[in-house]
Amino acid sequence: MFGWIVLGLVVLVVLYAIATYNGLVAGKNQVLAGWKQIDVQLKRRYDLIPNLVEVAKDYMGYEQETLQKVIAARNTAMAATTPAAAGAAEAQLSGALGKFFALAESYPDLKANDNVRTLMEELTSTENKIAFARQHYNDSAMTQNNRIEQFPSNIVARMGGFGPHEYFEVPETEKAPVKVDLR
């Protein structure tokens, strides 16, 4: 009788370990899918920016520095590979785009251009999608990190080699409001 109880306990522990391991794998894949969704939205944003800058060049002749900063920030953001680096680079890009949008307000002909209006609407829509994707990623990372740190799943996580996931964060230095100098 004692042997059956021990065997039953061992079977329960093995089943728990298998279920926990599979849950950790599913959580890791959900975090990765969340990161890829951010990549998709960022790619869309990166593709829109050069078109917007190109159209704006004709109207914003003496604002070349702002346009160059937008392109430089875009290139830096495209090169970021980790959530922390991407967060910092994206904050810089958002700041540059904010300055661009604010300056565009002072060019009525630019604002009236259909191409610019369409591109700005698409960029705004993409910004909202990026914000949603970042929230989904961070929620998935938090859920997975909880599984990795909480007892008893932390034992299976340690044995399976699961590590915590980075959150997509904006650095404190980049959270200041965008300042626009209209000269």
* Residue-range domains of the chain with CATH: 7-160 (1.20.1440.20)
The 10s digit of each residue's pLDDT in 129-164 is 988 999 999 999 999 999 999 999 999 999 999 999
pLDDT at position 180 is 47
Q: Is the pLDDT of residue 109 over 90?
A: no
pTM of the complete model beyond 0.85: no
DSSP string, 62-100: GGHHHHHHHHHHHHHHHH--SHHHHHHHHHHHHHHHHHH
Is the alpha carbon torsion for 157, 162, 164, 167 positive or negative? Answer: negative
Across the chain, mean pLDDT equals 87
pLDDT at position 99 is 85
Q: Is the pLDDT of residue 90 over 60?
A: yes
pLDDT at position 175 is 56
The 10s digit of each residue's pLDDT in 9-58 is 999 999 999 999 999 999 999 999 999 998 899 999 999 998 888 888 87
Q: Is the pLDDT of residue 86 over 70?
A: yes
pLDDT band at 113 (very low <50, low <70, confident <90, very high): confident
Q: Is the pLDDT of residue 171 over 80?
A: no
3-state helix, strand, coil in the chain (%, to 5): 85, 0, 15
pLDDT at position 182 is 44
Q: Is 166 left (phi over 0), alpha (psi -120 to 50) or beta?
A: beta
Peptide bond into 108 cis (omega under 30): no
